[in-house]
């Protein structure tokens, strides 16, 4: 008797469902992607009990012909491709024809659809993949899927589902990603009869970010626009202050499809190096566009992972696109921004707001300036001055000047074009006559009622952007705790962490001098003898030339022992065995396989040689420090990602002392 048989269609579909349909979120993803492929501009997803008992996906797309409706639930039935060659130019979200058959095989499914040409719609009902009824039905143009009792006939799959709230969270995440990828589509997500997400569909990505993540995030993102080697990169990246402890707020889309890519993640986080503290991850919504021939999406059952034809081109595009944005548009962090709990997701009652970030910064010949900075070994830390740059002394008079960077926020209703009076804080913005009534709502029901009627009006905001070059003409107030430098310019107080500032200056200077193969070695009067482990000794001997390029002259001095005769010239006699051991440990930990020194080891070298806290500085030293800082390409964070400069407006002081409210 033959042991090999061909599985029946229903069994094969249930097995396929195990690969494609993991949980309710998988059902939502597949169906919403079909709605996107159908050209829908409005998509509503409604769930109950985390999607386990009820899922409804409704769209206003092209609909499905009556003759095609039954056929759509056959396995490998698809309208997206006709032959294998079509995969090379694939532009749709789905194409394999497995999703509908898989979903139908493990649920009670009902679909109602109508095309624009048809006079009536068609309603099809299935149970466990078997058609039970086909009827005519009144329906608007588009398609509505209702999935009930998911995994009712596969208890092994059902028992591994999580709590309703957890499953609902997975669905919410899917909707958010799809909304970010398709700002031209209005998405609505309803959970247990409550609207959780509602995006405007006005083709403005920043409006979607505002709707999903809220005001604080939308104010703290920077636009990205870059093109290289056949790849086009657009979207937004977050300023360092909204970085989080995980990667949940990172969304990357390839030709409209949400993907996960180690190459892209590495490029993104490399671009943020020295701008973020360890174990902090940047916010981003990045949209990568390229020819379908440059990647293969059919390497994962859920099409989450892709294989690129040229990883290095992808890495280069992401890295340089994000890096250039961060360097061009970075700004001094305000005291209020640092103290706020930015970065937490929250829902907003008004569904659409467009925020236009007008922050932009330009730098002069900063690279040439950095290359010429010399850090002397004498007691005065900074001796180089500029003839055409003056930092005013505290005893010099300053004329009263207006703050040119104050918030100027104006809102204009799209319905009646009536201008609203100028306001000074984002919280005061009320965009329409209807939205003003939110302030008078006393119950949740009243708020919901207003939300349904508030149109998606646009608001333009301009946030306070201060150039680091403002510091050059600021007056020196003094030092606090012998650690923080205080400067004043107009209505702004600037606070500089002297160690973080010097650390960044030291790092950029080392990079510039190494790039020019300059020697910066100084002989020390008393050589340092260090006993190492066998592994450490072998490592130092192997990297001897790299150490030498950094200014260290190291020789073997007996069994597993080295002698250091020279150190970099920016160390002022304070270099110790512990300093060397920390540099060595970091180098071994982060770059033992590299021929050159790792970035992390360079950070440690910069840190060890930098000006310490609890050290009083003369005015001349503060002058030199500020001038050198202003010449840097990135003066805003130290190499570990901590802020170098904070600013606080006079208005904030007056608020704290209740002089204004």
Question: Which CATH number characterizes residue 84's domain?
Answer: 3.30.565.10
CATH number for the domain that contains residue 607 = 3.30.1540.20
- Which of 298, 323, 339 is the C-terminal boundary of a domain? 339
Q: What is the rounded end-to-end Cα distance, in angstroms, of the chain?
A: 89
Among residues 146, 180, 184, 171, which one has the least CA distance to residue 40? 184
Among residues 240, 316, 311, which one has the least CA distance to residue 278? 240
CATH number for the domain that contains residue 251 = 3.30.230.10
Output the pLDDT for position 182. Answer: 95
- Which of 164, 198, 232 is the C-terminal boundary of a domain? 198
| C-alpha to C-alpha distances, 337 to 326, 340, 355, nearest whole angstrom | 17, 5, 17
Specify the residue for token string 């061909």: 6
When pLDDT is averaged across residues 225-231 and rounded to a whole number, the result is 92
Residues 39, 134 share a domain:
yes
When pLDDT is averaged across residues 83-90 and rounded to a whole number, the result is 51
Give 6's DSSP letter. P
Q: In what order do the strands lie in the sheet with 108-114?
A: 130-137, 121-127, 108-114, 142-148, 54-59, 42-48, 186-191, 194-198
Least confident span in 2-16, 118-132, 260-274 = 2-16
Decide which of 118 and 614 is more confident.
118
pLDDT band of 43, cuts 50, 70, 90: very high
Least confident span in 85-94, 173-182, 629-638 = 85-94
Residues 96, 240 share a domain:
no
354 domain residue, yes or no: no
Residues 54, 171 share a domain:
yes
Residues 248, 190 share a domain:
no
When pLDDT is averaged across residues 119-148 and rounded to a whole number, the result is 92
Give me the number of domains the chain comprises: 3
Which residues have a Cβ under 8 Å from the Cβ of 135 and sit 6 or more positions away?
A: 122, 123
Bridge-based pairing state of the strands 142-148 and 108-114: antiparallel
DSSP-assigned letters across all residues of 92-131:
SS--SS-HHHHHHHTSEEEEEEE-SS-SSEEEEEEETTEE
Does the CA dihedral 280-313-184-325 come out positive or negative? Answer: positive
Whole-number Å distance between alpha carbons of 382 and 630: 13
Among residues 497, 496, 493, which one has the least CA distance to residue 654? 493
| C-alpha to C-alpha distances, 195 to 27, 445, 449, 482, nearest whole angstrom | 19, 12, 11, 53
Residues 248, 183 share a domain:
no
Residues 136, 238 share a domain:
no
Whole-number Å distance between alpha carbons of 18 and 399: 73
pLDDT tens digits for range 599-629: 888 888 888 878 888 888 898 899 899 998 9
pLDDT tens digits for range 141-193: 999 999 999 998 888 888 889 889 889 989 998 999 999 999 999 999 999 99
Output the pLDDT for position 15. Answer: 53
Judge whether 45 and 190 are in contact, CB under 8 Å. yes
Q: Is the pLDDT of residue 423 over 50?
A: no
Least confident span in 23-27, 209-213, 378-382 = 378-382
pLDDT band of 303, cuts 50, 70, 90: low
Residues 304, 377 share a domain:
no
64 domain residue, yes or no: yes
Whole-number Å distance between alpha carbons of 547 and 540: 8
When pLDDT is averaged across residues 47-59 and rounded to a whole number, the result is 95
Four-CA torsion 175, 178, 180, 182, nearest 10 degrees = -130
405 domain residue, yes or no: no
DSSP-assigned letters across all residues of 238-255:
E-GGG-BSSSTTEEEEET
What token pair was written down for 193? 């009869």
Q: Is the pLDDT of residue 456 over 50?
A: no
Residues 481, 576 share a domain:
yes
Could you tell me the pTM of the whole model?
0.62
Decide which of 282 and 440 is more confident.
282
Tell me if residue 626 falls in helix, strand or coil. helix
DSSP-assigned letters across all residues of 245-314:
SSSTTEEEEETTEEEB-HHHHHHHHHHTTTTS-TT-B--EEEEEE--GGGEE-TTSTTS-B-EES-HHHH
When pLDDT is averaged across residues 352-369 and rounded to a whole number, the result is 35
Q: Is the pLDDT of residue 356 over 90?
A: no
Output the pLDDT for position 397. Answer: 39
317 domain residue, yes or no: yes
Distance, C-alpha 541 to centroid of its chain = 41
Output the pLDDT for position 19. Answer: 52
Four-CA torsion 501, 507, 511, 516, nearest 10 degrees = 70
pLDDT band of 569, cuts 50, 70, 90: confident
Specify the residue for token string 């589509």: 185
When pLDDT is averaged across residues 246-270 and rounded to a whole number, the result is 90
Specify the residue for token string 């195990």: 18
When pLDDT is averaged across residues 78-95 and rounded to a whole number, the result is 50
Whole-number Å distance between alpha carbons of 645 and 502: 12
When pLDDT is averaged across residues 300-316 and rounded to a whole number, the result is 79
135 domain residue, yes or no: yes
Output the pLDDT for position 141. Answer: 94
421 domain residue, yes or no: no
- Which of 198, 232, 260 is the C-terminal boundary of a domain? 198
When pLDDT is averaged across residues 13-23 and rounded to a whole number, the result is 62
406 domain residue, yes or no: no
For residue 174, how many other CB atoms are within 10 A of its CB? 22
Q: Is the pLDDT of residue 478 over 70?
A: yes
Bridge-based pairing state of the strands 492-497 and 475-480: unpaired
Output the pLDDT for position 583. Answer: 87
Decide which of 195 and 519 is more confident.
195
When pLDDT is averaged across residues 418-447 and rounded to a whole number, the result is 38
In this prediction, what percent of the chain has a pLDDT beyond 70? Answer: 70
Give 393's DSSP letter. P
CB-based burial label for 414 (10 Å; 0-12, 13-18, 19+): middle
Helix H segments across 301-421?
311-329, 335-339, 366-372
Residues 561, 494 share a domain:
yes
| C-alpha to C-alpha distances, 418 to 354, 376, 423, nearest whole angstrom | 17, 61, 15
Q: In what order do the strands lie in the sheet with 561-568?
A: 521-531, 561-568, 553-556
Q: Is the pLDDT of residue 432 over 90?
A: no
Whole-number Å distance between alpha carbons of 342 and 334: 13
Whole-number Å distance between alpha carbons of 568 and 518: 11
When pLDDT is averaged across residues 517-540 and rounded to a whole number, the result is 87
Decide which of 44 and 65 is more confident.
44
Output the pLDDT for position 11. Answer: 62
HSE-up of residue 562 (Cα within 13 Å, Cβ side): 25
Judge whether 37 and 94 are in contact, CB under 8 Å. yes
Judge whether 649 and 464 are in contact, CB under 8 Å. yes
Whole-number Å distance between alpha carbons of 105 and 654: 66
Residues 375, 264 share a domain:
no
Output the pLDDT for position 348. Answer: 36
Q: Is the pLDDT of residue 201 over 50?
A: yes
Domain around 304: 221-339
Among residues 508, 519, 476, which one has the least CA distance to residue 495? 476
What token pair was written down for 621? 């030293």
Q: Which of 70-84, 199-213, 610-624 has the highest mean pLDDT?
A: 199-213
For the chain, give the mean pLDDT: 76
Residues 266, 189 share a domain:
no
214 domain residue, yes or no: no
Helix, strand, coil percentages, rounded to 5, for the chain: 35, 25, 40
In this prediction, what percent of the chain has a pLDDT beyond 90? Answer: 31
Whole-number Å distance between alpha carbons of 515 and 500: 23
Which residues have a Cβ under 8 Å from the Cβ of 538 and sit 6 or more positions away?
A: none
Q: Is the pLDDT of residue 231 over 90?
A: yes
Output the pLDDT for position 330. Answer: 66
Residues 606, 531 share a domain:
yes
pLDDT band of 509, cuts 50, 70, 90: confident
Q: Is the pLDDT of residue 252 over 90?
A: yes
HSE-up of residue 359 (Cα within 13 Å, Cβ side): 26
């Amino acid at each position: 008797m033959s042991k090999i048989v061909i599985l029946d269609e229903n069994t094969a579909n249930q097995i396929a469902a195990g690969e494609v349909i993991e949980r309710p979120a998988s059902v939502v993803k597949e169906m919403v992607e079909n709605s996107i492929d159908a050209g829908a501009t409005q998509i509503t997803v409604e769930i109950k009990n985390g999607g386990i008992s009820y899922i409804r996906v409704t769209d206003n797309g092209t609909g499905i012909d009556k003759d095609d409706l039954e056929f759509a639930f056959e396995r490998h039935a698809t309208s997206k491709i006709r032959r294998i060659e079509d995969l090379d130019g694939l532009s749709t979200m789905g194409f394999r024809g497995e999703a509908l058959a898989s979903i139908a095989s493990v649920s009670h499914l009902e679909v109602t659809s109508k095309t624009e040409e048809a006079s009536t719609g068609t309603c099809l009902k299935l149970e466990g993949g078997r058609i039970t009824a086909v009827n005519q039905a009144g329906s608007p143009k588009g398609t509505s899927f209702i999935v009930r009792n998911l995994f009712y006939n596969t208890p092994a799959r059902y028992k591994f589902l999580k709590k309703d709230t957890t499953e609902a969270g997975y669905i919410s995440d899917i909707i958010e990603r799809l909304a970010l990828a398709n700002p031209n589509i209005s998405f609505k997500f309803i959970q247990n009869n409550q609207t959780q997400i509602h995006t405007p569909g006005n083709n403005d990505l920043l409006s979607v970010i505002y709707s999903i993540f809220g005001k604080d995030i939308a104010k703290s993102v920077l636009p990205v626009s870059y093109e290289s080697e056949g790849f086009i990169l657009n979207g937004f990246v977050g300023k360092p202050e909204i970085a989080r402890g995980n990667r949940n707020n990172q969304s990357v889309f390839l030709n409209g499809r949400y993907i996960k890519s180690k190459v892209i993640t590495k490029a993104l986080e490399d671009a943020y190096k020295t701008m973020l503290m360890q174990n902090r991850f940047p916010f981003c919504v990045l949209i990568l566009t390229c020819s379908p021939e440059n990647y293969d999406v059919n390497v994962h059952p859920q099409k989450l992972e892709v294989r690129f034809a040229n990883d290095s081109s992808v890495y280069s595009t992401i890295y340089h696109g994000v890096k250039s944005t961060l360097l061009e548009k970075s700004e001094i962090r305000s005291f209020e921004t640092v103290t706020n709990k930015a970065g937490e997701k929250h829902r907003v009652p008004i569904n659409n707001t467009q925020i236009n970030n007008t922050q932009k910064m330009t730098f002069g010949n900063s690279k040439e300036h950095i290359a010429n900075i010399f850090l002397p070994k004498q007691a005065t830390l900074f001796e180089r001055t500029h003839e055409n740059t003056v930092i005013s002394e505290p005893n010099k008079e300053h004329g009263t000047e207006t703050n040119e960077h104050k918030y100027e926020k104006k809102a204009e209703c799209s319905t009646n074009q009536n201008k609203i009076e100028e306001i000074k804080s984002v919280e005061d913005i009320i965009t329409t006559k209807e939205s003003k009534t939110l302030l008078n709502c006393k119950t949740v029901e009243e708020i919901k009622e207003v939300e349904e009627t508030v149109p998606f009006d646009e608001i333009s905001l301009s946030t306070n952007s201060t150039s680091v070059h403002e510091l050059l003409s600021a007056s020196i107030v003094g030092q606090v705790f012998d650690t923080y430098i205080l400067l004043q310019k107009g209505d702004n107080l600037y606070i500089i962490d002297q160690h973080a500032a010097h650390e960044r200056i030291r790092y950029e200077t080392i990079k510039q001098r190494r790039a020019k193969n300059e020697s910066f070695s100084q002989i020390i009067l008393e050589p340092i003898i260090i006993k190492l482990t066998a592994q450490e000794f072998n490592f130092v001997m192997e990297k001897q030339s790299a150490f030498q390029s950094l200014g260290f002259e190291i020789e073997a001095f007996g069994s597993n022992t080295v002698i250091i005769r020279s150190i970099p010239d920016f160390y002022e006699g304070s270099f110790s065995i512990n300093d060397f051991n920390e540099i060595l440990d970091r180098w071994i930990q982060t770059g033992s396989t590299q021929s050159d020194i790792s970035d992390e080891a360079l950070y440690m070298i910069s840190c060890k040689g930098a000006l310490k806290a609890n050290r009083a500085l003369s005015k001349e030293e503060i002058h030199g420090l500020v001038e050198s800082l202003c010449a840097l390409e990135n003066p805003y964070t130290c190499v570990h990602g901590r802020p170098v400069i904070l600013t606080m407006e006079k208005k904030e002081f007056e608020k704290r002392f209740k002089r204004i409210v």
